[in-house]
Structure 1
Amino acid sequence: MKKTMLALCAVLAAFVLVACDSSKPYEPPKPTMPSNVPAKPRLNKADDVVVALAKEGIECEVLRRRNSGLDCAAETDGGKVELEISVFSKQMRKYLADSIASRLEPPHPQTLVAAGNWYIWVRGAARVPSAAPGIAKALNAVVLTPKGPKTPKYPLPEIPGKPLYKNVDDLADALDKSVGCTKRETTAVGTLKCLTGEPGMKHCATLALHKTDAQRDAVLREGIKYRGVPAKLVTAGNWTINLCDRTIGSLVARDLGGVVVAYDGR
């Protein structure tokens, strides 16, 4: 009887241990650094990245500074892009892999250039496909592309080859004659922002010119790909206009000789 009780106690103890172990919350595996990211160069601050780019002939104008880095505007062979540079100190380096992993995940994945203890988010990589590879080569780094399923290539309408514009201000003048384009502001990456509509009913618009049809189409697909974010753009030739007021797309398309590219986000 004593042996039976001892056996039952042993079984009960094992059951309790298993039960206690199974009650622990599930912890997903921690992200690891992508294996192709080189261990060097390691840099002390984001300004070191700007200096390294300048040595390779890529000037990057500082736009704003953050605790972990800075944002700057660079002009590459393909066009202008904005770079968000993040450098991780020795104390913060343990978070580097987590941060990179989060930026590569859907629904809003980013294109990164990374090495050592830093990475760069290349804003506008879809618009200027050669930018990220060129920056990676200049810095002895690698390009990290988004994970998961590829973004659906939303079908585009047949886009007229004309009209063409030599500069974005001429496009803004054409828009102004249609629905207005006031309080114009040229951004660091070469696009132009202005306000459309009547006084008291102003809406924003973003105007851009593109060197190739492929770059133009990439920008269109980038503009309409997000679920839950309705978008309406007008395009033709070498230009796109992203309208915040989605009720005027057809009017702008008629007046400027373009077509509407839209997605309702459902």
Structure 2
Amino acid sequence: MRHIRSAPALAATTALSAAFLATAFLASCGTDGPPPRVPMPSNVPTSPQFADSDAVVAALGRAGIPCLVTLHTAPEGASTTECTATLDGRTFQYEVEVFDLERFSRDEIGTAIATGRTVHHQTFVAAGNWHVAAIDPEYAPRIAQALGGVVLPGDELKIPDYPLPAIPSSPRFDSVESLAAALDSAVGCEDHDADPGGSLTCRTGSRVGRSPNCAVLRLHPSDADRDHYLREAISHPAIPAYLATGANWSVNLCDYGLADRVAADLGGVVVSYDGN
């Protein structure tokens, strides 16, 4: 269930680390066998086909869409490359997956895409034997043009108007770097990685004897923007989220056990969802 707590309302729970990138897998579910197959949409062309995900990444690079590889895997019959790209001063992510059609049918690929679109609300670009999950749907048309694929929008994620706690009007931070400094004093905030979009990531936990884990720090231009961001963070089915938040800031923590400590030390409250 979704929990909305003032810090420190609960003792820190067992540390759970999670970095969720929503993906669709060609796999069975439980003991009832694989889910019913969903054919590839009829508007998805059968070409071009690529040998592997590296070939797709190379084609995107030639079209001016870069890839800083964050993960590459090659299970039997498929290959996957996760990328971070920066265009026009904005950073976004995408994931390329290519399948061997001698091992996987287009219906199986279609099933994977359908799962991502309906369950995880992802937007895909697809053709031939591949798909690209566009984590930021805004870039999907450009990816489709570069690769000769079509855009398959994800189902709209409806964000309920969850009640939020009374959020203190202070302290306020004048920059995300000053928020990072406060977080560092509380629990640690090392290896900063600033996003041109305004957020900052770092590793937490070093100052309180916990294993380093990720945190995403963000400043919000208005209360409405902050509240929308909080509600969106706790609205994804089966994906836990623990955030410390205050006047014009939020810290989305991968180490859930730090949420109460961070909120208390920074003068905020906790908004969380345990994934159920």
Contact 1:112/1:143, CA 8 A, preserved across alignment = yes
The number of residue pairs the alignment matches comes to: 233
Q: Deviations over 1:46-85 (max 9, x none)?
A: 2222222222221112233222232222123473233221
SS of the aligned residue for 1:105 comes to helix
Mapped pair 1:64 → 2:71: yes
Structure 1: which 5+ residue stretches go unaligned? 1-26
Match of 2:45 in 1: 38
TM-score when normalising by structure 2: 0.64
Distance 1:65 1:181 in 2: 29
Alignment partner of 2:241 out of 207, 211, 231: 231
Contact 1:38/1:115, CA 8 A, preserved across alignment = yes
Structure 2: which 5+ residue stretches go unaligned? 1-33
Match of 1:243 in 2: 253
Distance 2:35 2:211 in 1: 47
Mapped pair 1:181 → 2:188: yes
Distance 1:211 1:138 in 2: 34
Per the TM alignment, residue 96 of structure 1 is displaced from its structure 2 partner at its CA by 2.0
Mapped pair 1:100 → 2:109: no
Alignment partner of 1:82 out of 82, 88, 93: 93
Match of 2:273 in 1: 263
Q: Structure 1 vs Structure 2: percent identity of aligned residues?
A: 36
TM-score when normalising by structure 1: 0.66
Match of 1:192 in 2: 201
Match of 1:16 in 2: none
Match of 2:216 in 1: 207
Distance 2:109 2:230 in 1: 32
Alignment partner of 2:55 out of 40, 48, 56: 48
The amino acid of 1:192's aligned partner reads T
Match of 2:150 in 1: 142
**Cα distance change on mapping 1:224 and 1:88 into 2, 3 Å:** same
Per the TM alignment, residue 224 of structure 1 is displaced from its structure 2 partner at its CA by 1.0
Per the TM alignment, residue 175 of structure 1 is displaced from its structure 2 partner at its CA by 1.0
Distance 2:42 2:83 in 1: 28
**Cα distance change on mapping 1:229 and 1:212 into 2, 3 Å:** same
Q: Please tell me whether Structure 1 or Structure 2 has the larger radius of gyration of its CA atoms.
A: 1
The amino acid of 2:86's aligned partner reads E
Contact 2:193/2:202, CA 8 A, preserved across alignment = yes
Q: Alignment RMSD, CA only?
A: 4.0
Distance 1:57 1:66 in 2: 24
**Cα distance change on mapping 1:216 and 1:55 into 2, 3 Å:** farther
Distance 1:232 1:261 in 2: 6
Q: Counting helix residues as a fraction of each chain, which structure ranks higher?
A: 1
The higher-RCO structure (CA 8 Å, 6+ apart) is: 2
